[in-house]
């Protein structure tokens, strides 16, 4: 009888530990996909809308300003991709294609047949790859400062990336990562992973972009890392795209954590644009 009691306590503790590992907050969960423990959060109810953060970022640093508004009308599924935020790195290549496959696997696991996808910066490139590799999973696309060709970056960007150091990473992004993962080696590893991916970045062929059937809303700043003319070219190459060029820097229009004007009302305007695009 005593043996059974202790066995029960052991099983109970194991169950509680397992639950804690799988759910870190009421909205946060882990899913086993493609050998990865992929972290995601679900907010709100309605049609599913997937949010994909930028490089070196987390859900909060990219989408913290606009996520609550989007969750008022959508089931927001916000994901932290390999080596970012709560999602630990594993021994496999880091690529936009692999990130896209991970997102598709999560949607399959959640039994979501099709979702609208919003990606910012590197997340926008992942969103493009998702539409190319898993078109049946994509409803509409919101491509925010998305890169698909190397010439979409300012001259010297890729040469500069080869010399990039962790000191150049914005402090708010460092702080956000270390709030989740205090080990400085993890921060350095994530940074170098992102740098290597950008250095090795290859153009997505125009024929692959033209094959995307999902309606797309492209959003870009007029004074940011991604050239406005690159956003225009992407809009012209996609079969069904609308374009908004806004007077701001990289991510300022969604209130990304490094945006200089914390009181800007532009993110409210962008949420309205997104809602109208998704509703039509």
Give DSSP secondary structure letters for 127-177: HHHHHHH-GGGEEEEEEES---SGGGSPTTHHHHHTT--GGGS-HHHHHHH
Return the pLDDT at 4. 37
Tell me what the mean pLDDT of segment 228-255 comes to: 98
Residue 18 has pLDDT above 90, yes or no: no
Mean pLDDT throughout 215-227?
98
- Whether 168 shows a pLDDT value over 90: the answer reads yes
Question: What percent of the chain is predicted at pLDDT more than 70?
Answer: 91
The residue-averaged pLDDT of 98-109 equals 98
**Looking at the predicted structure, is the pLDDT value of residue 19 above 50?**
no
> CA-based angle 267:116:262, to the nearest 5?
15
Q: CB neighbours of 259 closer than 8 A, spacing ≥ 6?
A: 248, 249, 251, 252
Q: What is the mean pLDDT of the chain?
A: 92
3-class DSSP state for residue 266?
helix
- Residue ranges and CATH numbers for the domains of the chain are 29-279 (3.40.50.1820)
Higher pLDDT, 141 or 8: 141
Q: Does 60 score more than 50 pLDDT? A: yes
- Cβ distance 94 to 197 under 8 Å? yes
Instruction: Tell me which residue of 70, 23, 66, 28 sits closest to 46, measured CA to CA.
Output: 70
Look up the pTM and report it: 0.91
**pLDDT value at position 142?**
99
Query: 153 and 125 in contact (C-beta within 8 Å)?
Result: no
Instruction: Give the mean pLDDT of 248-277.
Output: 98
- For every residue of 51-66, DSSP letters joined together read EE--TT--HHHHHTTT
Alpha helices of the chain — where are they, by DSSP H? 2-22, 59-63, 67-70, 96-109, 122-133, 157-161, 171-180, 184-199, 206-210, 228-237, 266-279
């Amino acid at each position: 009888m005593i043996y059974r009691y202790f066995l029960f306590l052991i099983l109970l503790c194991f169950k509680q530990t397992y639950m804690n590992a799988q759910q870190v907050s009421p909205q946060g969960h882990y899913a086993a996909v493609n050998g990865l423990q992929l972290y995601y959060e679900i907010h709100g109810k309605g049609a599913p809308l997937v949010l994909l953060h930028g490089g070196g970022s987390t859900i909060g640093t990219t989408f913290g300003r606009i996520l609550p508004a989007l969750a008022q009308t959508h089931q927001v599924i916000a994901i932290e991709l390999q080596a970012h935020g709560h999602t630990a790195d594993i021994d496999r290549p880091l690529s936009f294609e692999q990130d896209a496959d991970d997102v598709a696997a999560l949607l399959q696991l959640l039994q979501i047949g099709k979702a609208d996808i919003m990606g910012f910066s590197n997340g926008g490139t992942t969103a493009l790859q998702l539409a190319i590799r898993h078109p049946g999973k994509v409803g509409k696309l919101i491509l925010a400062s998305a890169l698909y060709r190397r010439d979409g970056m300012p001259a010297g960007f890729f040469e500069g990336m080869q010399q990039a150091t962790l000191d150049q990473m914005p402090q708010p992004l460092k702080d956000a990562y270390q709030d989740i993962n205090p080990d400085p080696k993890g921060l350095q590893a994530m940074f170098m992973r992102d740098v290597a991916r950008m250095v090795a970045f290859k153009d997505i062929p125009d024929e692959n972009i033209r094959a995307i059937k999902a309606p797309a809303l492209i959003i870009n700043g007029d004074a940011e890392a991604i050239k406005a003319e690159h956003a225009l070219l992407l809009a012209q190459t996609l079969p069904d795209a609308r374009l908004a060029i806004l007077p701001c820097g990289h991510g300022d229009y969604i209130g990304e954590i490094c945006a200089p004007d914390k009181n800007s009302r532009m993110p409210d305007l962008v949420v309205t644009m997104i809602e109208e695009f998704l509703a039509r």
